[in-house]
Amino acid sequence: MKLSTMIFRSRFIEGETVHLKRLGLSLDAIADRLTQIGRGSAQPMTSRHPLVTFPPNFKISRQGCHKALKRALAREPALEVKELRQIDTDRCEDLYKNLQLGIQKGNPGSIRSGVKVLEHKAKINGYLAPRRYEVTGKDGAPLALLELLAAIGPLDDQGKKNED
């Protein structure tokens, strides 16, 4: 079976779209980049088969990139939660590493960003300490369950407030 140039082009667009999406680009930015690649004014990030050609004045839309991304992801095996968690953890470590120069210089913005990255990493990996919330009354003492129910009104079977 001989593959057509359209199939080669589609597979290339799918691969380039996945690569650019993993780098964090929006679908609009990916569409712009692929249009530039198709017109020869930009180099691709992934390898390009010699049979991949583009028509003159090639243009791809945001929706076209979305379809290419969906097709490519449907062909890939689904990543398990453990693998996704590792990918996100690696990204957090890269972000934190890139903030180090600013943190060491005492840059408040870098420090705040670093703390947020570490907090996000802790949430991803499940080792963020659980938060405790306490509802108190006017005198500062904890509310009893009956007092709380009286304050918020009747609830339905799903625990939502009745609007009777």
What does the pLDDT look like over 8-25, one tens digit per residue? 899 999 999 989 998 889
Output b/e per residue, 56-86; b: 16+ Cβ within 10 A. eeeebeeebbeebbeebeeeeeeeeeeeeee
Write the DSSP symbol of residue 32: H
Measure the CA–CA gap between 31 and 35, rounded to whole angstroms: 6
Q: By percentage, how much of the chain surpasses pLDDT 90?
A: 46
Boundaries of every domain in the chain: 5-75, 81-125
- Residue 104 pLDDT: 94
Q: Is the pLDDT of residue 164 over 60?
A: no
Structure tokens of 137?
Answer: 């009354």
- Residue 114 pLDDT: 95
pTM for the structure as a whole: 0.53
* 39 in Cβ contact with 54 (< 8 Å): yes
* 143 in Cβ contact with 136 (< 8 Å): yes
H and E: helices and strands count for the chain: 6, 0
